[in-house]
Amino acid sequence: MRIQVAIIGAGPAGLLLGRLLEKAGIETIILERRSQDHVLGRIRAGVLEQGTVELLDKAGVAERLHAEGLIHDGVEFCFDGDRHRFNFRELIGRTVTVYGQTEVTRDLMHARDASGSKTIYEADNVTLHDFDGDTPRVRYVKGGVEHELTCDFIAGCDGYHGVSRASVPEEAIRTFERVYPFGWLGILADTPPVGEELIYAHHERGFALCSMRSPTRSRYYIQVPAGEKVDEWSDDRFWDELRRRVDAETAGTLITGPSIEKSIALLRSFVAEPLRFGRLFLAGDAAHIVPPTGAKGLNLAASDVGALAEALIEFYRERSTAGIDGYSSRVLARIWKAERFSWWMTSILHTFPDTDAFGRRIQRAEFDYLRTSPAAARSLAENYTGLPF
């Protein structure tokens, strides 16, 4: 079978790329290793930058997002019980939208199903071939039968553990990585959120985050050491620990309930360079990972595929390779800024095993500087709400 663009992975990056290309009349097939239900069952990011919302608008999949998404004008930081609100709208005239990654994925899947574009779920043993030439091929097994696709381009949108980046010869790629000695234990509960906006809390016992999915569904996280087991955390133990890390008012008004999901995600910073290898492109988590503290993972995936879609559309419409030639350096410039911001947010808000008294005073000084300097607050606002696409 022949197709214009073969997309590996039906996460937000692959699905959004497919949708943007389909709107421009470019044919795609998405190959996804897991089932549709499995992809929809993963609870991940929750905060969308304005640029991401605009891109989803452009893709024609933002109707429900506008009806159900919660627009937040700012966030709160809490440092050893002292709370401060950063009003992004006042600082820089921008906001963020709280709308779960699961819902973005669902909306994209519905649009794709309605348009008749093909997604092959439970595609096993996906392998990439000949992407250094003009006619790349992708092989996969579905229901025990081997299939082969011939295409113009392959988009590797298959996440950190995917096959796309792993198919690139070692000497052609360079990677940069930092692994943090802790993870986030997250809980989802059908309880009203404790605050109207997100609260990022630094405490001697570790970081905590109060987030939400809707007026009746909350998402909370606490920092735990790497290697911690979810089974060791009963709901009661989680709620008790969360209360200890936030300010007294938040702890006093927190409404708890049974968890409907509980999982641990390890924190990592990672970037691969370059992101184009002949006719193979990497985008989203296949290309980079950020610790979730800056809420950038999903948003970076969206900006990558926004740029990749533009480049491929330019190739098909104008027979120009300028866009695809510039893809890697264009997106890496934005990726590194988001990496910097996510690393910085992680550094100031978490407790590190080797943080001494000096280090804690520096963290406190960062908080006080942000709290008292409009220039520092504007920098936070600009990065959190998203740098220009």
Residues that bind ligand PHB (CB under 6 A): 45-47, 198, 211, 219, 292-293, 295
Does position 31 bind ligand RFL by CB under 6 A? yes
Footprint of ligand RFL on 154-173 (CB under 6 A): 157-159, 161-163
CA separation for the pair 256, 251 (Å, rounded): 10
Q: Are strands 74-79 and 124-129 parallel, antiparallel or unpaired?
A: unpaired
Active site annotation includes 140: no
Which backbone phi and psi does 156 adopt, to 5 degrees?
-85, 95
H or E element in which residue 264 lies: strand 259-273
Q: Are strands 74-79 and 82-87 parallel, antiparallel or unpaired?
A: antiparallel
Verify whether residue 384 is a known catalytic residue. Answer: yes
Q: Quick one: what does residue 293 bind among ligand RFL, ligand PHB, none, with the CB cut-off 5 to 8 Å set by partner type? A: ligand PHB
Residue 275's H or E segment, with its range, is none
Structure tokens at 115: 């348009």
Cα–Cα distance, 144 to 142 (Å, whole number) = 5
Closest residue to bound ligand PHB by CB: 46
Residue 76 found at the interface with ligand RFL (CB under 6 A)? no
Q: How far apart are CA 139 and CA 108, in angstroms?
A: 25
The smaller minimum CB distance to ligand PHB, of residues 102 and 328, is found at 102
186 neighbors 230 (Cβ within 8 angstroms): no
The one of ligand PHB, ligand RFL, none whose footprint includes residue 162, by CB under 5 to 8 A per kind, is ligand RFL
- What size, in residues, is the chain? 389
Taking CB under 6 A as the criterion, the residue among 297, 306, 323, 386 binding ligand RFL is 297
Pattern 237-276, binding to ligand RFL, x per CB under 6 A?
----------------------------x-----------
Identify the active-site residue in 202, 203, 296, 350.
296
Residues within window 87-106 making contact with ligand RFL, judged by CB under 6 A: 101
For ligand PHB, the closer CB: 164 or 211: 211
Q: What residues contact 350, with CB distance under 8 A and at least 6 apart?
A: 180, 182, 202, 206, 207, 223, 293
Q: Out of ligand RFL, ligand PHB, none, which partner does residue 282 contact, by CB within 5 to 8 A per kind?
A: none
Q: Is-catalytic flag, 200? A: yes
Q: Which of 282, 298, 345, 349 binds ligand RFL (CB under 6 A)?
A: 298
Select from 53-61, 78-86, 284-292, 367-375 the region that touches ligand RFL (CB under 6 A).
284-292
Catalytic status, residue 292: yes
DSSP state of 286: G
Tell me which of 180, 221, 327, 384 is the catalytic residue. 384
H-run or E-run covering 183 = strand 174-189
